[in-house]
Structure 1
Amino acid sequence: MRADHYDSFAQSYSTDNESSIFNAYYERPAMLTLAGDVAGRRILDAGCGSGPLSEALIARGAIVTGFDGSPAMVELARKRLGDAADLRVADLGAPLPFADGAFDDVVVSLVLHYLRDWTQPLAELRRVLRPGGRLLLSVNHPTVYKVFYPDANYFEVTRFSEEYTLGDGTSMELTYWHRPLHAMSDAFREAGLRISVISEPPFSPDTPRELVPSHLGDRTAFLSFLFFVLEAEGPA
């Protein structure tokens, strides 16, 4: 799926992203927890969207550069962040406009599951990381695919699409690539990235109760995304 596909519903998607349980109270807090103390660190937000994660990282003292393939999303991010971040339109599937070893950390928030081939994107993200730098990423949890598509082959890299209706009634279709866990691990290793952390975190305790699905009862966690912290090995 082309990133500029988001242009047609960028504002509606951004508005939902601000308050949904999946983004505002689950994925984003988890990424920030994994990032830890980022004061003074040079961070690339790859697939920054309208900039909510960049904004949170800047508030914690990070020096943020961001890019997205959707010009409409980058424009929303510029309105949000002004000159507090260097924001660009760029394609994760192509060479990135950054120098080797330019960043201490790269964050990739719910992006890679849109891509069939991770080889070039991971190689580029590794290139722009300094040796010992961190790549923090979140993707669709691979077991969730099997739950919703029980007849599918978990072990195959498989394309599938889902339709969503946003809060303002806007309809959108997103196309993903399911990837089994071992294929993720293989891709990381081939890119020179070592798995430091695998996380299946709870949602934020600050989540408004009306956003929590009733079937969860008293549970404080659910499966939706899978989180990694990867370390860049060797020279870039």
Structure 2
Amino acid sequence: MPDSVSKAAPVADYDSFAAAYSASNDNNLFNAYYARPEMIRLAGDVAGLHILDAGCGSGPLMEALRNKDASVSGFDLSPAMIELARERLGEDADLEVADLGASLPYPDDTFDCVVASLSLHYVEDWTSALAELRRVLKPAGRLIVSIIHPTVYAIVYPESDYFALTQYSEDYDFGEGTVWMTYWHRPLQDVINTFINAGFSIKTVTEPPPAANTPAELLPNPDGRSFICFLFFELEAR
């Protein structure tokens, strides 16, 4: 859990702690053994598909999908993250510095699938962001999304208005001092309706357990019970 929360903390400058953040994500519970395995499972057989990673960070999900014979492209707002992704994937990797909340540097109908793992909850305006993702997808292409589960906000901040679009920041320690991560909470009804209004059909919604190979010492519940953390969607462009 975060050390504290603020409604006025600055948006994170990922360039300042990119290496520490990437190292943590490669091995921690929530990314390595929870979000990434479920994103890969939902992607399914990707051999021969052209996939865009929207908010790719240092590229671990791109690497995993490429290892399953997909053709991968990715973008991130942080130049430092893109450099780490290039180190991971090679100098010829298709990587761009771009903003999920703005116009994307790809032609219409380019990708068979877009994955957006733990990136949309940094964006205030989902309408514009989803319109861009829909634009670069081929007809009937898939969008696979993971976000912070909306109910987590209600549990952690019971005094706040669950039904309001709210920006909030939490502080974390990635080994290089305290950093602030800033998110946008929206209620579940807004999450679902924004997907539908953007031209997507919902194929699957999951609240998975952590991966079967998760080291026992990482699990928050000694008896192996799952926990509420992220929410996953498999969507199809209409």
- TM-score normalized by structure 1? 0.94
Residue of structure 1 equivalent to 2:172: 164
Q: What displacement does 1:28 show?
A: 0.3
- Verify: 1:191 aligned to 2:198, yes or no: yes
Q: 2:4 is matched with which residue?
A: none
Where does residue 181 of structure 2 map in the other structure?
174
CA pair 122-2 structure 1, distance change in 2 beyond 3 A: farther
Asked whether 1:126 is paired with 2:134, we answer yes
SS at match of 1:38: coil
Q: Distance in 1 between matches of 2:218 and 2:21?
A: 17
- Aligned letter for 1:192? G
In structure 1, the residue corresponding to 2:29 is in which secondary structure?
A: coil
Q: How many Å apart are 1:217 and its aligned residue?
A: 2.9
Q: Deviations over 1:153-180 (max 9, x none)?
A: 11111111100012x2432101111111
Alpha-carbon distance in 2 for matches of 1:119, 1:183: 11
Name 1:200's counterpart in structure 2. 207
The Cα shift of 1:115 comes to: 1.2
**Aligned counterpart for 1:55 among listed residues 63, 73, 76:** 63
The residue type paired with residue 222 of structure 1 is: F
Question: Within 2, Cα distance between the matches of 1:2 and 1:60?
Answer: 38
Structure 2, unpaired ranges of 5+: 1-8
The answer as to whether partners of 2:216 and 2:222 remain within 8 angstroms in 1 is: no
* Structure 2: distance between partners of 1:170 and 1:37: 40
Residue by residue over 1:162-217, the C-alpha shift from the partner in whole angstroms, topping out at 9 and shown as x without a partner, is: 00012x2432101111111110111111110111111101101101111112xx13
Matches within 5 A, 1:95-110: 95-110=103-118
**Deviations 1:11-70 (CA, angstroms, capped at 9, x unpaired):** 000010010000000000010000011000000001000000000000000000000010
Distance 1:26 1:46 in 2: 18
Using structure 2 for the length normalisation, give the TM-score: 0.93
Q: Counterpart in 1 of 2:230?
A: 225
Q: Is the 8 A contact 1:4 1:70 kept in 2?
A: no
Structure 1: segments with no counterpart, 5+ residues: none
Separation in structure 2 between the aligned mates of residue 107 and residue 153 of structure 1, nearest angstrom:
29
- Which of 35, 44, 48 is 1:40 aligned to? 48
Secondary structure (helix, strand or coil) at the match of 1:18 reads: helix
Q: For 2:71 and 2:182, locate their aligned partners in 1 and report how far apart those are by CA, in whole Å.
A: 32
Is the alpha carbon distance of 1:125 and 1:2 closer, same or farther for their aligned partners in structure 2, counting shifts above 3 Å? farther
User: Counterparts of 2:34 and 2:94 in 1: how far apart (Å)?
Assistant: 26
Q: Structure 1 CA distance, aligned partners of 2:12 and 2:162?
A: 29
| Residue identity opposite 1:200 in structure 2 | E
* Residue in structure 2 matched with residue 143 of structure 1 by the alignment: 151
Cα distance 1:179–1:191, how it changes in 2: closer, same or farther (>3 A)?
same
Cα-to-partner distance string for 1:101-143 (whole Å, 9 max, x where unaligned):
1000000010111111101110000000011100001000000
Distance change >3 Å, CA 43–CA 132, structure 1 → 2:
same
Distance 1:61 1:145 in 2: 37
Conserved 8 A contact 1:63-1:85? no
Preserved CA contact (<8 Å) 1:93 1:120 = yes
Change (3 A) 1:174 1:96: same
